[in-house]
Chains A and B, each alone.
Chain A
């Protein structure tokens, strides 16, 4: 049976076998790509970005920017997926419609890029449409302004699968594989927990709350609902948790019994965050639809940055789209906190001991971890804390947070091996 993804289209992997790949790339010009584009090549080829089959042409980009839909006028899509090249590169590599490039990463062939279009674009206008601002200090705008002067649209076909490095191997679960796992588990509903964090109990309760909300009227005789932690793995900034700590501690919540195999699974998606707030929330909804999820948890200021977006802007935008245009149900959540009066973790929308609330922001928790002081288990699970410190030693050159040394020496999440 066909696996239908976002927009009701069948998810099809765009990956060639090694023999066919070798034949197809013969004689093609090679073009090396940076990690962001390599991430997106993987996302396109494995169906994370379905129904996209490649990088967007001008009509798609304009439609996405102005109408938040692909050029078909129907399929909701909120963030342009673009491939940039400089005019000099376009001349040097002979890039023009009806030609193909071999995209390389780590010096090895990764994908065939069938060029359909080379076009100009307006960075400022694109930034304003997508991010609601054209301020260069917005990280999404900064990323847009850093793009080269031309965009190239066309289909992508992977010719060489990425070699995922440890400790990430168990967590690279592309859409078709993930959907198979869900079937094996017997889950009828799966709710996404989007993360870039080591989990404190506020995060744990976001997941538990979302699980309750998702379970709804389903019977309890078997575990019918799962939480999928989908960690975003992409460009790191100084002060972020290291990727190894994020993915392993998220899974530790299951291993240490705060969840179980029957209701919790950790996975990753390669994506460089744009911090587009509401538009990024819509993008996440499409992405997780492709992963086979039925529900998606959205907290306050989902994928926001600074004060660019209101805490419920994403909820409002999703609310306008949910019934007609999305195939995933948003599950909204308030912040979770510790209430000393209740003696437990509770939600802002449940507890009324407002004056006694002890809120714990991610920044505050990072500060505690950085000081090496073990927090109470009600705030941070001891197994998670110990694992963070272990990851710091094993992968982070002594720190659980990204610094210059980590960026320089870290184990890459994936590599493209030589094509055998």
Chain B
């Protein structure tokens, strides 16, 4: 199976309500002492493109194996797309605009 690299979208109460409406609340995980998170996944090519398009982003290869430090506005857009499409497999569509 190809490697998957998560982008962690941290979920507060407001975001949780949106995910509930989209039928995705059950996909939230408790990551840190109860802090909720929904993960969207990148494959190798998508990960490389994300790191190229958003130079502040970092692949945390040492600890979490996730893509971190994307600008807040970018993560907001990814979250909105998840809610709109009611699924987490949205990275191809998200990256089309770049």
Contact = CB atoms under 8 A, between A and B. Distances in A.
The residue among A358, A361, A364, A379 with the most chain B CB atoms within 10 A of its own CB is: A364
A239 interface: yes
A355 to B, nearest CB: 15
A366 B63 contact: no
A372 B58 CA distance: 18
Nearest to B75: A371
Contact of A371 (B10, B30, B34, B60): B10
B32 A360 contact: yes
B12 interface: yes
A245 to B, nearest CB: 15
Given A371-B72, A371-B75, A364 B66 contact: yes
Contact of A364 (B15, B33, B60, B71): B60
Nearest to A370: B72
A376 B72 CA distance: 19
B63 A361 contact: yes
A364 B68 contact: yes
A363 B62 CA distance: 10
A368 B37 CA distance: 10
Interface in B1-57: 8-12, 15, 30-35, 56
B35 A359 contact: no
A395 B10 CA distance: 25
Given A239-B58, A370-B69, A364 B12 contact: no
Nearest to A361: B63
B49 to A, nearest CB: 19
Nearest to B30: A340
A372 B13 CA distance: 12
A165 interface: no
A350 B62 CA distance: 21
B32 A363 contact: no
Contact of B62 (A238, A361, A370, A372): A361
B64 A238 contact: no
Interface residues of B, number: 25
A239 B56 CA distance: 7
Given A364-B66, A379-B32, A372 B72 contact: yes
A366 B35 contact: no
**Chain A interface residue count: which class?**
20 to 34
Contacts of B10: 367-368, 371, 373
A374 interface: yes
The residue among B12, B35, B70, B75 with the most chain A CB atoms within 10 A of its own CB is: B35
Given A340-B33, A374-B12, A364 B56 contact: no
A199 to B, nearest CB: 15
Interface string B63-98: 110101111100100000000000000000000000
A245 B70 CA distance: 20
A338 interface: yes
B33 A358 contact: yes
Contacts of B15: 373
A107 interface: no
A363 B56 contact: no
Contacts of B70: 367, 370
Given A361-B60, A368-B10, A375 B35 contact: yes
Contacts of A373: 10-12, 15, 35
A375 B12 CA distance: 9
B58 A364 contact: no
A371 B77 CA distance: 12
B97 to A, nearest CB: 21
Contacts of A375: 32-33, 35
Contacts of B58: 239, 363
Contacts of B75: 370-371
Interface of A: 238-239, 338, 340, 358-361, 363-364, 366-368, 370-376, 378-379
5 contacts: A358-B31, A363-B68, A364-B32, A364-B66, A366-B68
Question: Lowest 9 CB-CB distances: which A-B pairs, in order?
Answer: A361-B63, A373-B10, A367-B68, A378-B33, A376-B33, A363-B60, A371-B10, A363-B68, A373-B12
Given A367-B8, A376-B33, 16 more contacts: A340-B30, A340-B33, A358-B33, A361-B62, A361-B63, A364-B32, A364-B68, A367-B68, A368-B32, A370-B71, A372-B72, A373-B35, A375-B33, A376-B32, A379-B33, A379-B35
